[in-house]
Chains A and B, each alone.
Chain A
Amino acid sequence: MSISFTYLSGRLTVYLSGELDHHAARETMQKITELLDEYLPRRCVLDLSGLRFMDSSGVALIVRLSRRMRELGGTLCVENPVGQARRVLSCAGVDKLVHFATIGG
């Protein structure tokens, strides 16, 4: 699991890559929470294009982040989930809770 990010005028984009499971989830959540506290973005974008695997641990992480962003008065958007991650997200109904987008695809 690895994380990188960019911040530009109120918009924090977090790129997740690798495998987001229970083993990786706590540290990932902690890193993203630190980024949110530091930048206080209006909009947080989770770019999942590099995510090879995700399970319900990732679902819980996205739901928590979406709640956190709402508390901060902003919004969370999930971008570019592919293959397996996309199927997990739609099975868990996350696409009805959080805004989804596919950029350039």
Chain B
Amino acid sequence: MNIRNYISIDFPSCSANEAFARAAAAAFASQLDPTMEELGDIRTAVSEAVTNCIVHAYPRELGRIRMRLRILDEDTLDIAVRDWGVGMENVQKAMEPLYTTGGEERSGMGFTIMQSFTDSLHVRSQPGKGTTVSMRRRIFRRNRIG
């Protein structure tokens, strides 16, 4: 695996940063010359992961979120969104469609959406320590130079 480029950004868990994180990820991914649809998928997956940190990981206070983006090999965007918040007891259960601890303002479809908008999704979590969500998305090579 060849890491061709990367960025890492730390930001506080305020909801105004949801749009920022989507835009930053789309800007970084643009070097892979993605289609509008591929960019939309990346923005969606990032939005879900970052919103989960804001809503669930730090329910009562502002905490730190780290988003790391990497270009792997020629054509793969690797996205990692990490928090140091409450964590999850049972990741498998949390990833089931419609499962939510967020009440009526949430739909319980976040992980399902991340899964369907990326090629792979991996979640590591420890109660009281935090959560890392890693996703990979291959960007189909078109007329890219370099």
Contact = CB atoms under 8 A, between A and B. Distances in A.
A, B co-complexed: yes
Interface of A: 19, 21-23, 25-26, 29, 53, 55-57, 59-60, 63-64, 83-84, 87-88, 91-93
How would you classify the secondary structure of chain B's contact residues: helix, strand, loop or mixed? Answer: helix
Interface of B: 15-16, 18-19, 22, 36-37, 40-41, 43-44, 47-48, 51, 54-55, 104-107, 109-110, 112-113, 116-117
B107 A63 contact: yes
Nearest to A53: B43
A83 B113 contact: no
Nearest to A29: B105
Which of B16, B36, B40 lies at the interface centre, i.e. has the most chain A CB atoms within 10 A of its CB? B40
Given A53-B22, A60-B105, A88-B113, A22 B15 contact: yes
A91 B40 contact: no
A29 B18 CA distance: 18
How would you classify the secondary structure of chain A's contact residues: helix, strand, loop or mixed? Answer: helix
Contact of A22 (B37, B41, B51): B51
A88 to B, nearest CB: 6
B40 A23 contact: no
Nearest to B40: A84
B54 to A, nearest CB: 7
Given A83-B37, A91-B112, A59 B107 contact: yes
Contact of A60 (B15, B104, B116): B104
29 contacts: A19-B19, A21-B19, A21-B47, A22-B15, A23-B16, A23-B18, A53-B40, A53-B44, A55-B44, A55-B47, A55-B48, A55-B51, A55-B110, A55-B113, A56-B51, A56-B106, A56-B109, A56-B113, A57-B106, A57-B107, A59-B109, A60-B104, A64-B105, A84-B41, A87-B40, A87-B44, A91-B113, A92-B107, A92-B109
B105 A92 contact: no
A88 B107 CA distance: 12
Given A56-B110, A92-B109, 15 more contacts: A21-B19, A23-B16, A23-B18, A53-B22, A53-B40, A55-B47, A55-B48, A56-B51, A59-B107, A60-B106, A83-B37, A87-B117, A88-B44, A91-B117, A92-B112
